[in-house]
């Protein structure tokens, strides 16, 4: 799939990996509808990138926000690709997380992408070369202590993406679940950075992750794709012999609990 002149909706565009992804898509000739809760920043980003892009400030957890984005897409002339990149994480033991934070994380990471796919499917279906890309995490396939809520939302997103891909199997639409491992972004707290350091976990540069994502979108059929080794292996082991991963993570539990909120 060539990305040049594709009309692409990108959520979470105003910061971190989302902004880097926006610039790379622009460099490849895509026409972008950038959306983020930070209206001032996302509108300015679209202006900085050129007049063929538009920025939409919207709370995608709210019906009004999704309606505003849908209207912008219609005014843009349609949509070819939806990339759900907005996300939220918190490194904390479940007993220490607030009910409000659990609900917000679920809405941002799972419910909003589901509802946005539902809202934009009629427009996407009009494109002869359409795709949906849901950005997940290896933690969506490997339940990790200290990230119980985050793991649950990404596992849910993976299940939703698989079901939607099978639901649309009689169409030409490509549906991706792309799951990076740890990435060097501002979403990581100091505790997360220290956790990865002490456990010896690799944190990929966002430029590498963005390049890998766009390579998959450009050249592969829809499917589930996990980025990073040995995390890819752990995903397979966890699916087949979860007890092995239970044991490995159990040996790291004291470190995880010491650093978790």
Query: Which residues are tagged catalytic?
Result: 150
Note the Cα 254 to chain centre separation in Å.
29
Closest C-alpha to 12, from 74, 80, 59, 54: 59
Which class for 83: exposed (0-12), middle (13-18), buried (19 or more C-beta within 10 A)? buried
Helix (H, G, I), strand (E, B) or coil at 201: coil
Beta carbons within 8 Å of 80's beta carbon, 6+ residues apart: 6, 7, 8, 124, 127, 129, 130, 131
Q: What is the distance between the alpha carbons of residues 31 and 153, in angstroms, rounded to a whole number?
A: 30
CA–CA gap between residue 45 and residue 53 (Å, rounded)? 9
Q: Which residues contact 150 (CB under 8 A, 6 or more apart)?
A: 88, 89, 90, 105, 109, 137, 139
- Beta strands (DSSP E) in 50-197 are 54-57, 81-84, 131-135, 174-179
Tell me the chain's radius of gyration from C-alpha atoms: 18
- Tell me how far CA of residue 141 lies from CA of 121, 180, 255, in angstroms: 26, 11, 21
């Amino acid at each position: 799939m060539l990305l040049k002149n594709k009309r692409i909706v990108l959520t979470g565009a105003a910061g971190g990996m989302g902004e880097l992804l926006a610039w790379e898509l622009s460099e490849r000739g895509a026409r972008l509808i950038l959306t983020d809760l930070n209206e001032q920043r996302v509108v300015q980003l679209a202006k900085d990138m050129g007049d063929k892009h538009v920025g939409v400030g919207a709370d995608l957890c709210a019906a009004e926000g999704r309606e505003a984005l849908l209207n912008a897409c219609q005014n843009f002339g349609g949509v070819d690709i939806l990339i759900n990149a907005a996300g939220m994480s918190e490194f904390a033991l479940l007993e220490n997380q607030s009910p409000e934070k659990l609900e917000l994380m679920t809405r941002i990471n799972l419910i909003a992408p589901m509802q946005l796919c539902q809202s934009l499917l009629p427009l996407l279906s009009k494109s002869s070369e359409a795709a949906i890309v849901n950005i997940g995490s290896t933690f969506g396939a490997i339940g990790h202590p200290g990230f119980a809520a985050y793991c649950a939302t990404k596992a849910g997103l993976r299940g939703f993406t698989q079901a939607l891909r099978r639901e649309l199997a009689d169409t030409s639409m490509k549906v991706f679940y792309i799951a990076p491992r740890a990435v060097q972004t501002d979403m990581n707290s100091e505790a997360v950075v220290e956790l990865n350091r002490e456990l010896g976990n690799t944190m990929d540069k966002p430029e590498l992750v963005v390049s890998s994502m766009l390579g998959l979108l450009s050249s592969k059929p829809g499917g589930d794709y996990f980025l990073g080794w040995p995390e890819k292996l752990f995903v397979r082991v966890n699916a087949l012999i979860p007890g092995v991963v239970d044991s490995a993570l159990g040996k790291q539990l004291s470190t995880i609990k010491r650093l978790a909120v």
